[in-house]
Amino acid sequence: MIDQNNPVWRNPRQIIERITIKGDLVLQTAAHFGGGDSPPWSRIDMALLRDPLEGRALLPGASIAGALRNYLRERLGGYDSPVEAEPLTRLLGGSKGDDDGAQSLLLIDDALAEMPQIELRDGVKIEAASRTADKGQLFNMELLPAGTRFELVFELLVPAGQRDELARLLALALQGFEAGPSTHAEITLGARKRRGLGRGLVKKWRVECYKLTEKQGLIGWLDESEPSARSEGPIATALGLAAAPTEDARSFFELKAKFALDSSLLIRSHYDELGLGADFAHLHVTGTDGQLKPIVPGTSWAGVVRHRALRIAKTLRPSEGETLVNRMFGAAEDKPKNQALTASRVVVDDSTIEAARPWVQTRIQIDRFTGGAYPGALFEEAPIFGDKTAYVTLHLTLRNPADHEVGLLLLVLKDLWSGDLPVGGESSVGRGRLAGQEATLTFKGNGAGVVKQTIKLVNDKLVVEKPAALQEYVDKLHTAAWEEINGTQN
């Protein structure tokens, strides 16, 4: 029963304005928005969500709301902040289990897109010791290709006296869908967000304001006709803010490294996207321009970097190495019993391989006993080859980095740079070797400015901007205390 003496009921919110915000979210990478289960008759392990009436691709409003809430919490309190700041709950309402929380002032619609040509991608768990596929751990998933377009629709309810603050908070949240300093949006949606999937971009917002205290505004909102005011552009401009909000409490280490292809490269796809007729071809995905392009997926980068990081950590810190890597990349299912499952703090993007093309090769398995061809073992594959202009860029971000963790990633970068760490399959026959060309290292502390350092290959000579500063991170890997590795020290 409603308590009529409760002051909340006697003093309801006075909504004086409604603001609708619309923007076209265009996927920059493939994305998977799924419901967890596939139909019993389906051969797909992870199927996409579809609108049951029209069969269109569905992006639930709840998923958008969760991504916005998480992004705004991180901007206000830092990565993995357990506390939701009061401004966040003012805009998006109380969190689950908060009996005293208010309703959200931001209404978010489901988003639909015309169902494009679906992409299929395989996933597999790699057995760390042998670096081969773990038995029974192969699965496939449906993906929406880059270029898929969703219309995002929001409606902000504005109580009296709160317009400026709510507009600032909403602009801060929706900035995550705009191109940031790294030229791509920071909010990712759907599955495998930290492994290169689900990144979308809104280039321009359309804002309509309805002042409910005025006759024209009230009638305009009721019959969806002429608003009191209309504007468009970047979200801060469209909402009428004098300047874009800049609050950012996040701390991270970002690595962007450009590599030339020093050999052929093969990351297997069983779907022959190019129609080459080979038994195995390199993975190609649709770009935003609608063209098929070869990529190194974020899952492959993450697997390579994690495996080498674990090897280095166990060599330098035999008793703490696995704990160190698990804290960075997330604990696996076969984790030690005293460790909880945690999400990866390492975020890795898909990488397009530029100026490279596939080449079909015929291979045969050799019978080791006779030294001759093994009967029935003839097959074709299409790895990627490139000339001196071909390159691929690794984009990796470590959230809430510790100095010794940065040092570990720098050692992995050294192995990739020198060609000692191959990427993709068939490294035993010389595939997957890279040659470092240039790298940009970005450091940002909580509330601090951004510091950048560069590493370049100039006329076959390695030029490091501040080698002593980078060496300090590596030295810290040798000297870090157990409390620092375990994350129990401030």
Query: What is the arithmetic mean of pLDDT over 360-386?
Result: 84
Roughly what angle, to the nearest 10 degrees, separates helices 298-316 and 467-479? 60
Given a contact cutoff of 8 angstroms between Cβ atoms, the answer to whether 21 and 210 are in contact is: no
Q: Which is it for strands 280-282 and 373-382: parallel, antiparallel or unpaired?
A: parallel
What is the tens place of the pLDDT at every residue in 21-75?
999 999 999 999 987 666 665 678 888 998 888 889 999 999 999 999 999 999 9
Taking alpha carbons only, the member of 71, 33, 28, 60 closest to residue 187 is: 71
Amino acid at 481: A
What is the tens place of the pLDDT at every residue in 91-109?
998 876 666 667 899 999 9
- Taking the C-alpha atoms of residue 482 and residue 402, their distance in angstroms, rounded to an integer, is 13
Structure tokens at 25: 């979210």
- Pick the more confident residue, 272 or 341: 272
What is the tens place of the pLDDT at every residue in 202-226?
999 999 999 999 988 899 889 888 8
Length of the chain: 490
Domains in the chain: boundaries: 13-238, 252-485
Band of the pLDDT at 490, cuts 50, 70, 90? very low
Is a pLDDT exceeding 90 seen at residue 83? no
Roughly what angle, to the nearest 10 degrees, separates helices 163-174 and 61-77? 100
Cβ neighbour number for residue 7 with a 10 Å cutoff: 7
- Taking the C-alpha atoms of residue 198 and residue 191, their distance in angstroms, rounded to an integer, is 7
Taking alpha carbons only, the member of 351, 363, 337 closest to residue 293 is: 351
